[in-house]
Amino acid sequence: MTCSAFSQKEREVLIKYVPPYSFGQLLEHLRPRATPGIEAVGEKSYTRLTTHSGTPRIMNAEDAADGLHLRVRVTSENQKGLAHDLERLRYLLAVDENPSEAIGHLAEDKLIGSLVRERPWVRVPRCWDPFETSIRIIIGQQISVAAATTISARVAHKFGQRIATSSDLCCVFPGPEVLAKVDLSDLGLTERRKSTIQNFARAVVNGTVDFETSQDLQEVEKTWCALEGIGPWTARLIAMRVLGHDDVMPSSDLGILRSLNRLSKQKVSPKQLERQSKLWKPFRSWSAQHLWQAPDTLRNA
């Protein structure tokens, strides 16, 4: 793909978050999922390369250590589209979400209440770009997080826009118009997954998939599961991460089941989790995140 040059002019912006908030929790979730070349998660920072109307921009976020803000350093030739990029960053890092209602509802639950009381600042990471994150979720079907990260990087480097910077960030994820047409061979994808990605990209291009339309979870599942290769797990992850639904439980997810098995001291099936999670409505997405990011002593027991 074409290569753009990068001009360096830096400014600093503070974005306020709703406490209790843990930037470290968001980084813990994002770190193994960060696509090399597009984004980087350090010990205490999140960095992403993006473009606006062809102008490259690097966004670097870290905790301002004042209990109220993240500090964002923006490196770009100009400020065009900066407000939009800051909104995308806010959404990804869930700074505007208020965990108090979820805490109040979940803290006394017999199974997950201890997790919520111990880590009340856990919240659901969302996404920077709806299409990019949806493709990442599709790639991640039935493979490990590490494998999905590797394959996502291959897709980005082969088909994304190349940008010359002084850092390791060097490309922007390709859009649906690109992935709808390219040859996805030699990337480590199964034939079924290649077909799913291209059919999904075409559905975005022709408007079958609409990231802007507000739908309830049943409508989301019906729409997305009608697409080839998209099942309930994928549809629910997209509803949670991309569309911002707070009441989603990916009941077949192995990581969630593993943590719940440890908490309950018994083997829990996806159907049992589905029934159990009704007690956590309307904050099942928050419950899922608590179980995904349960302390290592629980996950590795």
Q: Are 115 and 290 in contact (CB under 8 A)?
A: yes
Within-domain flag for 289: no
Domain region containing 29: 3-97
| pLDDT computed for residue 55 by the predictor | 86
**3 state DSSP class of 36:** coil
Q: Which of 123, 58, 137 is nearest to 93 (CA)?
A: 123
| pLDDT computed for residue 5 by the predictor | 52
Q: Are 188 and 56 in contact (CB under 8 A)?
A: no
Within-domain flag for 25: yes
| pLDDT computed for residue 7 by the predictor | 58
Q: Pseudo-torsion of CA 86, 89, 94, 98, nearest 10°?
A: -10
| pLDDT computed for residue 28 by the predictor | 97
Q: Digits of tens for pLDDT over the chain (301 positions)?
A: 445 555 578 999 999 999 999 999 999 999 999 999 999 999 999 999 999 888 899 999 999 999 999 999 999 988 889 999 999 999 999 999 999 999 999 999 999 999 999 999 999 999 999 999 999 999 999 999 999 999 999 999 999 999 988 889 999 999 999 999 999 999 999 999 999 999 999 999 999 888 876 778 888 899 899 999 999 999 999 999 999 999 999 999 999 999 999 999 999 999 999 999 999 999 999 999 999 999 875 544 4
Domain of 88, CATH number, reads 3.30.310.20
Angle, helices 130-139 vs 232-241, to 10°: value is 150
Provide the whole-model pTM.
0.94
Work out how many domains the chain is built from and give that number.
Answer: 1
| pLDDT computed for residue 252 by the predictor | 96
Within-domain flag for 50: yes
The tokens describing 13, both together, are 């912006």
Within-domain flag for 222: no
| pLDDT computed for residue 301 by the predictor | 46
Asked whether the bond before 20 is cis by omega within 30 degrees of 0, the reply is: yes
Within-domain flag for 263: no
| pLDDT computed for residue 293 by the predictor | 95
Within-domain flag for 299: no
| pLDDT computed for residue 2 by the predictor | 47
Within-domain flag for 20: yes
Within-domain flag for 127: no
